[in-house]
Structure 1
Amino acid sequence: MAYIMVFRLKATLAALAFAAFLQPAWADPTRAVVELFTSQGCSSCPPADELLVEFSRQPDIVALSLPVNYWDYLGWKDTLAHVAFTERQKAYAHSRNDRQVFTPQMIVNGKKSTIGSDRAQVEKAIQYTTKGRRTLPVNVVVTERNDTITITVEETPDTTQREAEIWILPVLKSQTVPIERGENKGKTITYANVVRGLNRVGEWRGGSARFEVPLDMARKGGDAYVVLLQGTDAARPGLILGAAKGPGL
């Protein structure tokens, strides 16, 4: 009898340990994704960069910095900028049909444009794009095992949109840059969750789905990553339906 009890106890502990091992890297549901289009050559951007750092500390918000390159001619070439981020910002403007591209610009949940340094506007945009929900409509979970990331999209009846794409974005969790020339000459700015790439993983057509991605691809150029489930509008980025952070974010 004692042997049976010990065996059952060991089996239970092993099961609990295995379940804990398979827990998602970040289990808190996401309320919003905020993307800050910023530039080291933009004199009005530092307050927005500071606000994004604050948002990055909130567990229910995915906060991303996407440095753009169109202010490089002002005397300082942004050391983190990428043309792909400029193209993404312009694609958002085309999707909204307002053609508004500026810095600092915050795009909330792939839908609403706001001034990136205006906290009240950003919070209002979060409420507007979630329609009063406490989380994004589709739950996305990430797990890591044996150098592989498994992305699970959970089935939900909560959204009418049933077509989207899965993206994985490598990020640098924190990057401090001393700026030597241009409009921010002499300033040292810390950026949070600086995107280093935009990698399309696959398509989602509603219901539950599962995707696997090599860990080294997800972190290429960065030290962490985020996952986005994003609708498309004529091949342009649309409403973000779900998101998840990798471990450490």
Structure 2
Amino acid sequence: MDDEVERAWRAAEREPGVVVLDGFHALKHALRFGGDVRRVLTSDRAALAALAEELAADVGPALDELAVELPEPVLRSLVPRLHPTGVIAQVRRPSAGANREALARRPRRAPVVLLENPRNLGNVGAVIRLAAGFGATGVVTTGELDPWHPTVLRGSAGLHFATAVERLSLPELPDGPLYVLDPEGADIREVPFPDDALLAFGTERHGVSAELRARADQLVAVPMRPGVSSFNLATSVGMGLFHWMAGRPPGAGPDGR
């Protein structure tokens, strides 16, 4: 039985669109937000059930149906680093078409976060986690980094499934007014962000490209103490999304309603 489960896991690794989640919280979010979870492996079904009862009772029935128990050494052979909760899962990511449709849908009730050519996998994961928490429409990246990389999924705690995450080129960006975070922009405190904004962030060292800067409807700057080089990317995104939310009517939820 163990060999059969292991072979099925290895075969699924070669399927396009299948991604790996490691850890209970990533799996919890995938289940909670409608992820197509294909298989769940754990070193201790009873411990997994107890964790779900304590932290996420809403996903307990799905875990009870999906979870298969395997010896811990077998699990460790299937992933580079086993999460302390001893659970891994294979999930089919949403199709690029579905993500593009979600990003393009109008009217848009919450901004899209644009990361131009990001470099750090952990930072991208943290941004996706923030975007999901604030109820952003989605996170778009450009460049070579894969926003569905396992390290990004770990950093987002599986919250890719709570917002649209896709890699696009600049000509493919969804419609909407483009607000680019740039040191030479207007003070963010004087610039309200509309619900359908694209909020663009460049790299910490180089900022945004000249091409993206030229396309901006508005350059916006976060005031910063002289001598400090830059804010962390995820921190900047968090400030931008909080600024958007702070400008919404009292009582409006993070999902834009």
Range into which the TM-score falls when normalised by the shorter chain: under 0.3
Structure 1 length normalisation: TM-score?
Answer: 0.26
The structure with more helix, counted as a fraction of residues: 2
The structure showing larger relative contact order (alpha-carbon pairs under 8 Å, at least 6 residues apart) is 1
